[in-house]
Amino acid sequence: MSAPKTNPNPAEPKRRWFEPLAAIVMALSTLSTAWCSYQSARWTAASGRHVRGAEGLQRRQAALHLEDNQITAVQAQMFMQWVNAHVATNDKLAQFYAARFGPELQKAFTGWLAQKPFENPQAAPYPFVPELYQSRFAAEEKAAGAESVRLSDLASAATQSAALYLSNTVLFATVLFFAGMSGKFEQRRVRASTMFFAIAVFLFAAIRMLTFHVS
């Protein structure tokens, strides 16, 4: 009658449950790491697009502001020529200049004359006051500035999302390390503690990942 077979490694049965558990945790961590890396890359690309868009609008806003200043300077010169002609009672020359005012100055000039500036001391000193004069590209410049701010905010939010996903890849890498090392320790308590730590970190990172925005 043959002797019963003995397990050459008595600790082996106690390790068997570590292998499938470690494999599952490592597989999930690997997939989660790939997903976080993908999302981080997408958010980084989105941030770059928003930054480039905001910078383009800022350049456009600056160009419009410069062009507005140039137009206003030319129209101010024409208005001064009109004043000189009006003071000199040269109505023909005054009408010549007035007929060549730009649409924004023409509107402000009409409103200014309605205040009777040569008789009313309370009238505006000239048409280029904010209540009367609006520069040609003021609305477009304002819209470009507002859109630039909006894109800058989106870029900041995208950068933050990319950083959050990147930080999560570090957590999942930690899970991979401890889950892989858990089966190599001889002492059961050390193995169990290592696996428990890996699972705890994985659950934390997974729950945290679910709160992130998806690109």
One digit per residue, the tens of pLDDT, for the chain of length 215 reads: 444 554 455 555 555 666 788 888 899 999 999 999 999 999 999 999 999 999 999 999 999 999 999 999 999 999 999 999 999 999 999 999 999 998 999 999 999 999 999 889 899 988 999 889 998 898 999 999 999 999 999 999 999 999 999 999 999 999 999 888 877 777 788 888 888 999 999 999 999 999 999 98
Work out the burial of residue 194: count CB atoms within 10 Å of its CB; fewer than 13 is exposed, 13-18 middle, 19 or more buried. buried
Q: CB-based burial of residue 92 (10 Å sphere; 0-12 exposed, 13-18 middle, 19+ buried)? A: exposed
> Using CA atoms, how far apart are residues 161 and 211, in angstroms rounded to an integer?
11
**Per-residue tokens: 83:** 């004043």
CA distance 88 to 75: 20
Instruction: List Cα–Cα distances, 37 to 32, 40, 41, 164, 209, in angstroms.
Output: 8, 5, 6, 10, 12
For residue 26 the two structure tokens come to 């490592």
Distance separating alpha carbons of residues 104 and 98, to the nearest angstrom: 12
34, 87, 120 from 72: Cα distances, Å: 57, 22, 25
